[in-house]
Amino acid sequence: MKRPFVFIGTAMFISLLIYSYHGIPAAVVMFIVALILSLPAFLLRNKRKKCLSILCITLAVLTSSLLFSLKTVYEYLPAISLCSDKTHTIQGTLTEYEFEYGNHYYTLDNIKIDNIPTKHRIRINSDVWKNTSTDDILIFTDATIYELGTNQKTNLYYKAESVYIGAYTDGNITVIKASDHSVLYYLQSIRNFITHTLGKNMYPEYAAVTDAILTGNQTAIGHDTMLDFRYSGISHLFAVSGFHLALWSSLVKTALLKLLKKHKNTAYVLTVVFVIFFMALTGFSKSVTRSGIMLILMYAGNLIKHRTDSINSLFIAITLILTFNPFAVTSLALQMSFLATLGILTLSEPVIIPIKKLKTKLPSVFYNIILTVYTTVVISVIATIFTMPVSALNFGYYSPFSPVSNLLCLPAAQLLMILSGFALVISPIHFIARPVFVICNFLVKYILSVTSAIAHYPYAITDTDPPMMMTILLIILTLTAVFLIIFKNNNNKNLRRCVAISASAILLLSVVSEITKTHSYEITVADVGNGTSVILSTGKSDVIIGCGGNDHSDYRFTNCADRINQREFDLILIPKNTDTESEYAFSILNTYKFNSCIIADDGFSGELKRQLPENTQITNECTVKLDENTTLVYINNDRFSGARIKSPDFTATILFRPTSDFSTVGDIWQSGDLLITRQNLPQTNLDGFENIIVSTSSEINYNADNIFSTEILGNIRYIKFPTGGVSINAVQ
């Protein structure tokens, strides 16, 4: 068998993905099925070679089942058993610190809970900041332990990172400074040096972007800049990945081979050492680890004068990563890195071959330029096609302009990495380093200009509805399979046909999505607990209704809002001055631009005065025309508080106070396509609503098929299509 790990890695990847979503029962069922299928392959000795691929697949499934079950039973479940409403004293060694949305997060290892040692890591959320560094011992009092992840998707994210439990505390934090330091401390010191040196020699915004591209540190990047990179399809530059490691290792290898001309093996060994160092510097992130393993295999092949198979190496890397951490299969970084690399390795060469025929027909300068541009576009298109399903299904959109962004920005980003890395190394020599940093400033300015121009284009991103996305994927797979069968004798043309099919399907998805978006009504209800955070898009206007909830409202609401390629909303409705309705009004007003505002006449407008747009209406009752077909009615009094969206094709009621008395507003408010309410259902007849979305922080069973809970689904998107159909699904 030429590539055994292709079968092993694929089987492990698919089976572990199934187990992650369906748990140990699925692992048991697949273990039994794989065991039964493997028996004939073992018994048929004469045909064992022909059955080798089946053996590899079944053994991989068996191994995956055992690994997943052991990881769950002996690591995950014991960690979850620590969760309760009781308060504890937690002590541990600091490994990571983050500051997000006004909260401080301390990740601890080697922890003790009430002085009892446990092997689990924990992520503690506190309002208190302490001057700490890696390896310091932190002691938290009055801490309540909970399972990380408010829904399945975020839960799987934390499991992939091997952090299963979190804690929150308003108690004291005691810091015991470390006397001895681990390797982790010195790696963090290098990262701190990079951040400090860039900040001292570059403009703040440019330094933050350079730091993110070099190390993945995104903490200082502004919200608008993050959206620009995301919408233009090059946010992968901020996630230190195989692209970064391949570039740096290539430079190091080239330099060492020139310095050690007579000792090539030593150069390869030192390059491997650098690869391992870079992997450690980035915290062994999934995408870097994948790339690192492949590069180590390649350089090891150079040592023994053996050319490695890149595709087999890719699957060896996946197999090793999943063996050590079966939960890593749900890491989006690993999935996208794996799929992009697989696409590039399998499709780029046959697609690039035709352009190489021009080598003898054009001058070398023109040929090299054309080849570079064509190769960049081809690789970007292939990477976009292969990662588009993951991006669309998980983020709800993808960027069709990603190939253009990559073509324009990747060369500048590569040069920025090289020059900024060189400037950091020679930073003590100021008169040489300073001019290099100046050039870096210009490169970042260029990248920011390009990403901003593309991201603000009206069609920069394409929204995707999961059912539609699954349909398109089914079409791609079916047509690809047909072409594989019909044109199996011509591999190169066959591969190009597969790319053409996939690209055409993506184009079709883009067109259908834009038509649907323009003529449909889309409402997103943010998972903010027992509070009101609603985004309405009619295709012609975008409106934010309410911005309140629990302690994490700001973060979750912003994630929902960022899915809409809008920096400027037509209207924000701020119902009243309560946490459940308007807790994060300050933050939302500072983050986005609004053409107009409706705010309750309860004195809150005085506190928000500087943030409110000029066109602000302070009232407890009004009717606003959102577009030629849609109006928004707002009522707030002692007995009722809510909003009504009305159009010929769509009606919805949004309740700000579930105890509202409907008799004060009329029967029309008690019927429609959709009711959005908070945790306690209103005391009224709900049969008039086709569907109900409840924003809640409790796992309440509402005993109805048409009631959807944010506590169960997370962020919920409701779409009424122009044809009259309805889609309700979870989005993150």
- Name which residue leads in pLDDT, 480 or 366: 366
Q: State percent of the chain over pLDDT 90.
A: 23
Do the Cβ atoms of 26 and 18 come closer than 8 Å?
A: yes
Token output for 321: 């990563």
Q: What residue ranges do the domains of the chain occupy?
A: 4-80, 87-181, 184-233+399-458, 236-330, 467-515, 520-731
Model pLDDT, residue 617: 92
Does residue 660 have a pLDDT over 80?
A: yes
Does residue 46 have a pLDDT over 70?
A: no
The CA-based angle 216-217-223, given to 5 degrees, is 105
How much is the average pLDDT of 166-172? 85
Does residue 48 have a pLDDT over 60?
A: no
Model pLDDT, residue 491: 54
* Shared fold status for 87-181 and 520-731: no
Element (H, E) at 142: strand 137-147
If we measure between CA atoms, which residue out of 454, 325, 461, 448 comes closest to residue 388? 461
Do the Cβ atoms of 296 and 308 come closer than 8 Å?
A: no
Model pLDDT, residue 69: 93
Rg from Cα positions in the chain: 28
Band of pLDDT at residue 404, cut at 50, 70 and 90: confident
Helices (H), 642-721: 710-713
pTM confidence score: 0.78
If we measure between CA atoms, which residue out of 222, 221, 223, 215 comes closest to residue 197? 215
Band of pLDDT at residue 4, cut at 50, 70 and 90: confident
pLDDT digits (tens, 9 = 90+) for 569-591: 999 999 988 888 888 888 888 88
Do the Cβ atoms of 637 and 647 come closer than 8 Å?
A: no
Pick the CATH number of 87-181 from 2.40.50, 2.40.160, 1.20.140, 2.60.40: 2.40.50
Does residue 621 have a pLDDT over 90?
A: yes
Beta strands in 455-567 (DSSP E): 462-463, 521-525, 534-537, 542-545
Model pLDDT, residue 674: 93
- Helix, strand, coil shares of the chain, percent, nearest 5, are 55, 20, 25
Model pLDDT, residue 197: 94
Does residue 439 have a pLDDT over 90?
A: yes
pLDDT digits (tens, 9 = 90+) for 263-308: 888 888 888 888 888 888 877 778 788 888 888 888 888 777 777 7
The mean-pLDDT minimum among 39-53, 276-290, 536-550, 559-573 falls in 39-53
Model pLDDT, residue 292: 84
In angstroms, the CA 645 to CA 626 distance is 9
Q: To the nearest whole number, what is the mean pLDDT of the chain?
A: 83
Model pLDDT, residue 484: 57
DSSP secondary structure string for all residues of 271-336? HHHHHHHHHHHTTS-HHHHHHHHHHHHHHHHHHTT----HHHHHHHHHHHHHHH-GGGGG-HHHHH
How much is the average pLDDT of 112-138? 89
Model pLDDT, residue 624: 93
Model pLDDT, residue 202: 92
The mean-pLDDT minimum among 8-22, 164-178, 206-220, 243-257 falls in 243-257
Band of pLDDT at residue 651, cut at 50, 70 and 90: very high
Compute CA distances 693 → 547, 677, 726, whole Å: 16, 7, 13
CATH superfamily entry for domain 520-731: Ribonuclease Z/Hydroxyacylglutathione hydrolase-like (3.60.15.10)
Band of pLDDT at residue 71, cut at 50, 70 and 90: very high
pLDDT digits (tens, 9 = 90+) for 173-208: 889 998 888 888 888 888 889 999 999 999 999 999
Residue 592 neighbours by CB under 8 Å, 6+ apart: 544, 561, 566, 567, 568, 569
In angstroms, the CA 237 to CA 408 distance is 13
How much is the average pLDDT of 497-505? 68
Per-residue burial over 288-301, b if 16 or more Cβ lie within 10 Å, else e, is bbbbbbbbbbbbee
Element (H, E) at 244: helix 242-259
In angstroms, the CA 176 to CA 138 distance is 6
- Name which residue leads in pLDDT, 312 or 539: 312
Model pLDDT, residue 510: 67
Band of pLDDT at residue 150, cut at 50, 70 and 90: low
Do the Cβ atoms of 455 and 420 come closer than 8 Å?
A: no
C-alpha dihedral, 623 to 626 to 628 to 633, nearest 10°: -30
The CA-based angle 517-518-519, given to 5 degrees, is 95
Do the Cβ atoms of 398 and 464 come closer than 8 Å?
A: yes
Give the chain's end-to-end CA distance (angstroms, integer). 41
Tracing tokens 């920069």 back to the chain, one arrives at 460
Do the Cβ atoms of 13 and 319 come closer than 8 Å?
A: no
* Pairing status of strand 521-525 against strand 462-463: unpaired
Token output for 490: 């011509």
Compute CA distances 247 → 187, 215, 240, 317, 464, whole Å: 20, 14, 11, 19, 33
Does residue 605 have a pLDDT over 80?
A: yes
In angstroms, the CA 209 to CA 204 distance is 9
Do the Cβ atoms of 425 and 190 come closer than 8 Å?
A: no
Cα dihedral across residues 100, 693, 227, 583: positive or negative: negative
Does residue 115 have a pLDDT over 80?
A: yes
Band of pLDDT at residue 157, cut at 50, 70 and 90: confident
- Name which residue leads in pLDDT, 31 or 354: 31
